[in-house]
Amino acid sequence: MTAPKKLFIKTYGCQMNVYDSERMAEALGGEGYVETDTPDDADMILLNTCHIREKAAEKVYSELGRYKGLKAAKPDLKIGVAGCVAQAEGAEIVRRQPMVDLVVGPQSYHRLPDLLAKTQGGARALDTEFPDEDKFGHLKARPKARRAPSAFLTVQEGCDKFCAFCVVPYTRGAEVSRPVDRVLTEARDLVDRGVREITLLGQNVNAYHGIGPDGADWSLARLVRELAKIDGLARIRFTTSHPNDMDDDLIAAHGDCDKLMPYLHLPVQSGSDRILKRMNRQHTAESYLALIERLRAARPDLHLSGDFIVGFPEETEADFQATLDLVEAAEYGSAFSFKYSTRPGTPAAERAQVPEDEKTDRLHRLQALLTRQQRALQDAMVGRDVQVLFEKPGRMPGQMGGKSEYLHAVHVAGADVAPGDLRRVRITASGPNSLTGTLL
């Protein structure tokens, strides 16, 4: 019997890239590849890249440089670059790193087996087009192996918002939604293999408008309610949302759909209307806070997460103070905050930049406030009962870890539970990044 070839995938960035890496591994599984945790014994190395953060392309080139020795020692080793940096850089990757065998954009990875075949004779394979066909419809059926209790499921890709700081519209393309039937089929398959919680993914997931089996245009709220009918699926989440796509029905779903978890990631980026306009966000701080008020009216225990960019071009201290004021008003359970960094080709890259030391100072002040809010919310959980989906053993012997409905990490010691169990837990202690409790 021929020994299986080994595939090492390194994933950068968001949950959508995690999902894409899973599907790429499945596509290459049909070519005889099995995954390995180390590049050292791999027959193929695939970098699934992200272009959101600072100097993303240079980090990929640096990573590729680490593999030169492996390639020299093992000439048959195949090296590929996938994802958003591949889309943005294209042939430049092969020019700068000639050892790279294939480059494939995020909309074309269903063609990986064909691209890999082209490299067998020493040719280079490049595909960064936006194909007409639906890549999901051309991927092979997912294997029937058991899965972890939680899984990601991409339902929407691309973005039409064109925020002034963001490259996503250029690397992922226009907003496209998967047909309802295909989403439901994949969700049922995941549940059949042990998944109890599904997180629906999209660059602007609440912009979802998939064609339903009735030929109608389905909203995300309607899709969520249909997914909730699947026996065995206990929890539904979605990310990432845009405030402008949070319609009335989706707000109502947070109150009337029991399987939709009370946690929402809703990026705002800034609390200054002047900066929001310069970012092309097309909402105001007031409209954002009014939206949160409506969401919490529908689901009073909703935990909120957000994204923030500090030091956006032309941001003043007064603009930054407006962001702090919004954070105080919104009360976040968690958040992601970053210093602005330029992305070539985006409108903001050409504007007057805020000095780096000012960006750093503002980031530290914002993160201190967000940390206080997160810790206060976690501390308030002590004494409360939560529902925990157990996923894997904890760091301590005899400990099991999982996630609450609010996405808090929860650890329970001495519990007779297994991955996939959903149990009530009373929270007894709050740590810096997790909660501890006892089974009820």
What span, in angstroms and rounded, lies between the C-alpha atoms of 338 and 269?
9
Distance CA 318, CA 284 (A): 16
- Please name which of 7, 235, 206, 199 lies closest in space to residue 102, comparing C-alpha atoms: 7
Specify binding-site residues.
14, 50, 84, 159, 163, 166
Q: Is 366 helix (H, G, I), strand (E, B) or coil?
A: helix
User: How distant, in Å, are the alpha carbons of 102, 111, 353, 436, 437 from that of 116?
Assistant: 7, 9, 43, 47, 49
Bond into 371 cis (ω within 30): no
Query: Are 435 and 409 contacting, i.e. CB atoms less than 8 angstroms apart?
Result: yes
Closest CA to 181 of 149, 225, 138, 227: 227
Phi-psi category of residue 289: left, alpha or beta, with phi > 0 → left and psi -120 to 50 → alpha? alpha
- Binding residues for [4Fe-4S] cluster, by number, are 14, 50, 84, 159, 163, 166
Of 28, 17, 8, nearest to 79 by C-alpha is 8
The residue assigned the tokens 């949070």 is 246
CA distance linking residue 440 with residue 423, whole number of Å: 8
CA-to-CA distance for 138 and 106, rounded, in angstroms? 14
